[in-house]
Amino acid sequence: QVQLVESGGGLVQAGGSLRLSCAYSGRIFSSNARGWYRQAPGKQRELVARITSGDSTNYADSVKGRFTISRDVAWNTVYLLMNSLKPEETAVYYCNAGTVLGTYWGQGTQVTVSS
């Protein structure tokens, strides 16, 4: 089993910044890809950023240059630094992990960007 716990969400004004954290535990290894997704009300969940072994990263076009995904040395925590936030980025943000046993999700953390 793999456990994921997000933190760091909250209310921020447009143009502001937040850093989300996802703590991983259980049967997960540095070779497992990690990602951040978000889901706004009435919309599908979408990929925001992803990091794989070797520290290869990819981002949604809408966040490139503003968001940064990173990790700690031990791969126990993955971060999402979000700068220049926009009101339309208000959503529940989820972290996930892809393993041979399946894909695991955290419970989500609410990010609200006020205009």
Residues with Cβ < 8 Å from 58, sequence gap 6 or more?
Answer: 49, 50
Predicted confidence at residue 62, as pLDDT, reads 98
Residues with Cβ < 8 Å from 102, sequence gap 6 or more?
Answer: none
Predicted confidence at residue 53, as pLDDT, reads 87
Please state the separation of Cα 59 from the chain's center in Å. Answer: 11
Predicted confidence at residue 78, as pLDDT, reads 96
* 3 state SS of 61: helix
Name the β-bridge partners of 71: 78
Instruction: Give the Cα separation of 35 and 16 in Å (integer).
Output: 22
Phi-psi region of 74 (alpha: psi -120 to 50; beta: other; left: phi over 0): alpha
- Going by their DSSP bridges, the two strands 33-39 and 46-52 should be labelled as antiparallel
Predicted confidence at residue 99, as pLDDT, reads 86
What does pLDDT average to in each consecutive run of 10 residues of the chain (115 residues)? Answer: 94 98 90 94 97 94 98 94 98 94 94 97
